[in-house]
Amino acid sequence: MATLSRADVEHVAHLARLGLTDEELGRLEGQLNHILDQYEILAALPTDEIAPTAQTIELENILRADVTTPSLPVDEALAGAPDRARDLFVVPQIIGGD
Amino acid sequence: MTAPVASPSATGRYEAVIGIEIHVQLRTRSKMFCGCSTDFQAAPPNSHTCPICLGMPGTLPVANRLAVEHVLATGLALEAEIVPVTRWDRKNYFYPDLPKGYQISQYDLPLTQNGRLTFDTSEGPFTVGIRRAHLEEDTARLLHMTGDSGDRASLVDFNRSGVALMEIVTEPDLRTAEQARRYAEELRLLLLTIGASEAALESGQMRVEANISLRPIGAQAFGTRVEVKNMNSFRSVERAIGHEIERQAGVLSNGGDVIQETRGWDENRAATYTMRLKEDSQDYRYFPEPDLPPLKADPAWLDEIRARQPELPAARRARYRAELGLSAYDANVIVGDLKATRVFEGALAAESALPAKRVANWVTGEYLRLAKGSDAIDALEPAELGRLLRLVDEGTLSGTSAKEVFARIFAGERTAAVVEELGLAQISDGGALETAVDEVLAANPAAVEDIRAGKAQAIGFLVGQVMKQTRGRANAAMVRELIRSRLDAAPPAATAPRRPKGTPEASG
């Protein structure tokens, strides 16, 4: 049985920067535990013979030569900025990250 | 700082355990996953961006082959294992320097792992284990400001966003601040040699972070570790780590506990300060990057990279000592500076008959004195140094004249042209020297008398006079011989004139 606690849900919501109400947290706790239950069913399948797979498209080594291409004009790059100071994006300061 | 200072005996009770993480910007023209130019040092903010490095939805990154090859070359140079198949991972966190909300990095399958690097320290050679070297993308640059209304804001420049970055992590093998500095220096030299990075600390192309913990000598378990950042020179690396070891020893010897945190180094105050507590460890929720297919480093590709690899610093030092007979000191100084290496190799290649030791003396002496100790622009064509030293060897140029010529070829001139222009070619022509010697003998009868009377040192005075008359261009050994033979052959003067007043006492 999956056992995501209310605290786990709150932690994940914080990591995703989601502000959730008590009612939403409660609903998501149920939904997330239900999803984990489905994974437990999958986890019961024998997979010893199968290599871990991160991708199903059979491509590898898709690389580009080290060649430059034109960049966007500055005004176009900044077109979606919430705020700008000259040619810089302006965002609220966040303390404590790195 | 108010931190208790450790007494030497307290520091002596503990052993420091140090691991180093180094990020270097890789030397590529375009960014890691898009074609935006990395040449933005003098460019206006946000002028080198595109939908990919701005993290726009719906874009697809494509990895830069050269960046991958730089990491593979680094792995080979560090004698590391190259992982046959690797992939990319997303490291998720929210910060304004990261437009996508995640950094494309590598988590459990780094391109290379389990390498090592050996370097010299004042206590002899030391080998540090390299845990891993992986590829990721750099973040944007943030500037902080306070607005008119007192709001604190961050200004974001995405020019650096997405530049190819390599992270190299050591095992916690280092025990002293000096070892840590020497490791960083040797790694930088290695990266410069293989052309993977410009690796300048001052400009942030190379960023050094140290994880430091202390444990009682003899203990196995690690103590609580502190991460130290903001070390912008090799000198700071050594000072900051030395300081942090003392600080932790002070805390522990006073019965305190070291707090797990990130501390910054303040060069002006020569102290570390708390930047961030790590009470809740970061949760980056790594998962495989679905937008980039896996990467396979097949043996043929690795062979190609290996074949392009230049001689590495350790091998070069060994060759200079074993085959060219240089001292350990000369080999270290020359190999430690890529320009000195180029000059040394180029001069020897142009004049292979020159004794390597002589060339080395000039490179470690005159060349580095001008290259490092003056404002003169280094435009030296290495072969010209070879030609200059051949003229000295042949006796065409005196040692003093050679230094004068060197200053000019350092600025880009040709040896032959400078020697010609200054009329510096040493006079080894017998006829010309004889004339000069005869003139000097005639003008200094007192000294001639002294020599005849058995004061052999007076020959030195006469040689000096000939050098003066020829503006230093006479071949001193030939002059000495000429004076001797002249005095042996000529009869003594019947009446020796008194030495004129003011003539120096010949004293050799």
The alpha-carbon gap from A22 to the nearest alpha carbon of chain B, in Å, equals 23
Give dist(CA B411, CA B405) in Å, integer.
Answer: 10
pLDDT for B490: 58
Residue B182 and residue B238 in contact, taking contact as beta carbons nearer than 8 Å:
no
pLDDT for B192: 97
Q: What share of chain A is helix, strand, coil (3-state, %, to 5)?
A: 35, 10, 55
Tell me which residue of B284, B302, B352 sits closest to B323, measured CA to CA.
B352
- Quick one: tokens of A86? 């000259």
pLDDT band at B428 (very low <50, low <70, confident <90, very high): low
pLDDT of B362 over the 80 cut = yes
B65, B143, B262 ranked by CB distance to A63: nearest: B65
In terms of CA atoms, which chain B residue is nearest residue A57? B293
CB pairs under 8 A between A and B: 129
pLDDT of A91 over the 60 cut = yes
pLDDT of B33 over the 70 cut = yes
Domain ranges of chain B: 8-299, 311-422, 430-489
Residue B130 and residue B78 in contact, taking contact as beta carbons nearer than 8 Å:
yes
For range B123-142, the mean pLDDT: 96
A67, B29: Cβ pair inside 8 Å?
Answer: yes
The alpha-carbon gap from B140 to the nearest alpha carbon of chain A, in Å, equals 11
pLDDT of A74 over the 70 cut = yes
pLDDT for B394: 80
Domains of chain A with CATH codes: 6-43 (1.10.20)
Residue B131 and residue B169 in contact, taking contact as beta carbons nearer than 8 Å:
yes
**Of the ranges B23-27, B218-222, B360-364, B495-499, which one carries the lowest mean pLDDT score?**
B495-499
* pLDDT tens-digit readout, B395-415: 778 788 888 899 999 999 999
* pLDDT tens-digit readout, B272-318: 998 876 545 578 889 999 999 999 999 999 999 999 999 999 999 99
Give dist(CA B20, CA B8) in Å, integer.
Answer: 25
pLDDT band at B77 (very low <50, low <70, confident <90, very high): very high
Rounded to the nearest 5°, which phi and psi values hold at B353? -80, -10
Strand partners, A42: none
Label residues B241-270 b or e (16+ Cβ within 10 Å = b). bbbbbbbbbbbbbeeeebeebbbbbeeeee
pLDDT of B174 over the 70 cut = yes
pLDDT for B495: 46
pLDDT band at B496 (very low <50, low <70, confident <90, very high): very low
Residue A13 and residue A20 in contact, taking contact as beta carbons nearer than 8 Å:
yes
Give dist(CA B496, CA A12) in Å, integer.
Answer: 109
pLDDT of B190 over the 70 cut = yes
pLDDT of B477 over the 90 cut = no
pLDDT band at B489 (very low <50, low <70, confident <90, very high): low
Rounded to the nearest 5°, which phi and psi values hold at B238? -70, -45
**Of the ranges B114-118, B206-210, B251-255, B461-465, which one carries the lowest mean pLDDT score?**
B461-465
- The pTM of the full predicted model, rounded to 2 decimals, is 0.83
Give dist(CA B287, CA B90) in Å, integer.
Answer: 5
The alpha-carbon gap from A44 to the nearest alpha carbon of chain B, in Å, equals 22
B45, A65: Cβ pair inside 8 Å?
Answer: no
Q: Per CB distance under 8 Å, which residues of A are interface residues toward B?
A: 11, 15, 17, 54-55, 57, 59-72, 74, 77-78, 85-94, 96-98
* CATH architecture, range B430-489: Orthogonal Bundle (1.10)
A60, A77, A96 ranked by CB distance to B276: nearest: A96
A65, A71, A87 ranked by CB distance to B45: nearest: A87
pLDDT for A1: 56
For range B264-277, the mean pLDDT: 88
Q: Where are the alpha helices (DSSP H) in B214-312?
A: 234-253, 299-308
A57, A72, A97 ranked by CB distance to B49: nearest: A72
Which of B28, B30, B46, B230 is the best substitution to test chain A (most A C-beta atoms within 10 A)?
B46
How far does CA A78 lie from the centroid of its chain?
24
pLDDT for B502: 47
* pLDDT tens-digit readout, A20-70: 999 999 999 999 999 999 999 999 999 889 887 888 878 889 999 999 999
Give dist(CA B129, CA B74) in Å, integer.
Answer: 14
pLDDT band at B1 (very low <50, low <70, confident <90, very high): very low
For range B463-468, the mean pLDDT: 84
